Amino acid sequence: MMRALIALTVLTAVCLACASSATAQVGFDRRGHDYMNFAVRSGDPAVCSARCDREARCRAWSFTFPTGDRSATCWLKSEVPPRVEANDVASGVRGAGVIEPRARNREFAIDRPGGDFRTIEVPAEGNGEACRLACQKDGQCRAWTYMRPGYSESGGARCYLKSHLTAPRHRPCCISGVER
């Protein structure tokens, strides 16, 4: 009985390790082995993940977020390349879905619509760091939302400073945070 319990525990640990390494993550790319790519009008990496799940040939995928000069693009892959860190990219393997990063002071794929008292253009790098810092420096700011480049009408990255907290909504365009 004890051996069976130990074997089950080991098997569970191995399965959990395999599952956690197979999740899709924002901030990582899987380069190479592309057999198809297409524009994703909604700008949502979940569309890319779902397409891979439906294609028998697909083993992995990469999704590039839109920028001012390029649209969001899904890259389907016939093999599973190793993942490498890359800003403005999400990638994963077939069946994994999309897992947003977890950070203490950032809410990935979250918009906090409303409550804006100031809008500014910010650099497109740093996952909203310039927006967070602008909010910290402004005594009126309670929360912020960084809109990635390519999602706004201007095409550039935008920062929305908020005078009060609003309810979070899932939107792949945005990274938000609460400061006070």
* Mean pLDDT of the residues in the chain: 85
The verdict on 116 and 84 lying in the same domain is no
Say if 157 falls within a structural domain.
Answer: yes
CA contacts within 13 A on the Cβ side of 113: 4
- The C-alpha atoms of residue 154 and residue 131 are separated, in whole angstroms, by 17
pLDDT at 24 (0 to 100): 58
pLDDT over threshold 50, residue 61: yes
Report the pLDDT averaged over residues 111-130: 90
Question: Could you tell me if 43 and 88 lie in one domain?
Answer: yes
Domain boundary, last residue among 93, 117, 139: 93
Q: How confident is the model at residue 41 (pLDDT cuts 50, 70, 90)?
A: very high
Within a domain: residue 3? no
Inside any domain, residue 41? yes
Residue type, 169: R
* Residue, of 101 and 158, whose pLDDT is higher: 158
Provide the residue range defining the domain that includes 39. 23-93
On whether residue 79 sits in a domain, the answer given is yes
Same domain, 161 and 133: yes
Q: What is the CATH number of the domain that holds 172?
A: 3.50.4.10
Is residue 140, in this structure, part of any structural domain at all? yes
- The verdict on 81 and 113 lying in the same domain is no
CB contact at 8 A, 83 and 21: no
Q: pLDDT confidence of 152, banded at 50, 70, 90?
A: confident
45 and 112 both lie in a single domain = no
**Range 130-152 average pLDDT:** 94
Residue 15 lies in a domain: no
Q: Rounded mean pLDDT of 35-42?
A: 96
User: 103 CB contacts (<8 Å, ≥6 apart)?
Assistant: none
What pLDDT sits at residue 64? Answer: 95
Give the H/E segment covering residue 16: helix 2-21
Per-residue pLDDT band for 60 (boundaries 50, 70, 90) equals very high
**pTM, full prediction:** 0.74
How many structural domains does the chain have?
2
Whether 150 and 84 share a structural domain: no
Same domain for 107 and 173?
yes
Q: Is the pLDDT of residue 19 over 80?
A: no
CA distance to 24, 37, 161, per residue, from 28 (Å)? 8, 17, 28
Mean pLDDT of all residues in 37-48:
94
Q: Are 54 and 89 found together in one domain? A: yes
Over range 29-45, report the average pLDDT: 95
Per-residue pLDDT averaged across 145-155, rounded? 87
120 and 158 assigned to the same domain: yes
The answer as to whether 37 is a domain residue is: yes
For the segment 84-117, what is each residue's pLDDT rounded down to a tens digit? 998 889 999 998 878 777 777 889 889 999 999 9
**Of 69, 93, 117, at which residue does a domain stop?**
93
